[in-house]
Amino acid sequence: MQEIKIFCPATIANLSCGFDVMGVALDTIGDEMTVRKIAERKVEITKITGQDLPKEINKNVAGVAASAFLKKAKYCGGFEIEIHKKIKPGSGIGSSAASSAGVVWAMNELLNRPFSKKELVEFAMQGERLASNVAHADNVAPVIFGGFVLVRSYAPLDIVQLPTPKALYAVILHPQIEIKTADSRKILKSRIALEEGVKQWGNLGGLVAGLFKEDYELIGRSLEDHIIEPTRSILIPGFEEVKKKSLDAGALGCGISGSGPSIFALCQGIEMAQNVAGAMQKVYDKIGIDFEVHVSKLNAKGAKKLK
């Protein structure tokens, strides 16, 4: 194979109770990318559509991740990359992760999979470091593994793929304002109280158990954030009302997607998801900030080849 065209999914990181350690891939929201083998041993970004992003390799998250891959690959050629952005940077649904994880996934396919998924995550994390100053894996790992992913440990990196219950849908409300992950990390406290930790790890365990048991109520009860949400939600206009109305409309749970401004809800079934999308929309219609609402099934496969 000389060339591959792929879909790189958007992702919801944190999932309320799992700051920096939990994420899930979405099915119908994501970027497209074409990666081609070339004779010269270098990485080149030849085209970017949809967003005004730098093509210089060391300034582009896909370029940085691709270079990390090429440095370790036993391959004498290089790669040419075309990126078609559909996910806006600073949206909270893993725009940088779609590019950095998508490109290394595609390169690995072109070379007949010399690297493990975990190694791909390590390359993609270099792109995240460029985007937010922190090499977090909770967006890139779901792009590469698919479905729900737990980053059990960063040093050493230990990634656990979790089940994706079939009836789960995500609703995303994306206010059209940009919040840079680096900025929304700066406002976080670096220390937490023991009682907050107790609630948070209780919920994280509950979420993992809920996914294994396909216990939708348990999944919903576990989508609570006692540590990050109280601080970050002040950056998101109407957050509390969107959350309240989503839960009233039947959402299992609702919180900040990644570092925001997007708000996510998880729902059991498409009907519930559509009701919740309508409820979110009603709140934002009054706020006067442009927004988009998406309903998506969860994506158990992650990045995939397009025909």
Catalytic residues: 128, 181
Contacts of 36 (CB under 8 A, 6+ apart): 2, 3, 79, 80, 81
Q: Does 226 bind ligand HSE (CB under 6 A)?
A: no
Q: Does 229 bind ligand HSE (CB under 6 A)?
A: no
Which of 226, 230, 242, 261 has its CA nearest to residue 18? 226
- CA dist 172 and 301 (Å) reads 20
Q: Does 154 bind ligand HSE (CB under 6 A)?
A: no
Determine contact, residues 79/43, Cβ cutoff 8 Å.
Answer: yes
Q: Which C-beta is closer to ligand HSE: that of 187 or that of 270? A: 187
For the chain, give the longest Cα–Cα distance. Answer: 57
Q: Does 20 bind ligand HSE (CB under 6 A)?
A: yes
Q: Does 200 bind ligand HSE (CB under 6 A)?
A: no
Q: Looking at 16, 99, 126, 139, which residue binds ligand HSE (CB under 6 A)?
A: 139
Residues 268-307 touching ligand HSE, rule: CB under 6 A, are none
Q: Does 258 bind ligand HSE (CB under 6 A)?
A: yes
Q: Does 181 bind ligand HSE (CB under 6 A)?
A: yes
Query: What distances in angstroms separate CA 211 from CA 29, 106, 137, one per listed residue?
Result: 22, 29, 20
Q: Which C-beta is closer to ligand HSE: that of 78 or that of 147? A: 147
Q: Which C-beta is closer to ligand HSE: that of 30 or that of 78? A: 30
What's the DSSP call for residue 263? E
- CA dist 236 and 23 (Å) reads 20
Q: Looking at 85, 136, 243, 245, which residue binds ligand HSE (CB under 6 A)?
A: 136
Cross-strand partners of 304: 7
- CA dist 254 and 273 (Å) reads 12
Tell me the residue number closest to ligand HSE, measured at CB.
258
* Residues that bind ligand HSE in the complex, under the rule CB under 6 A: 13-14, 19-20, 94, 136, 138-139, 181, 185, 258-259
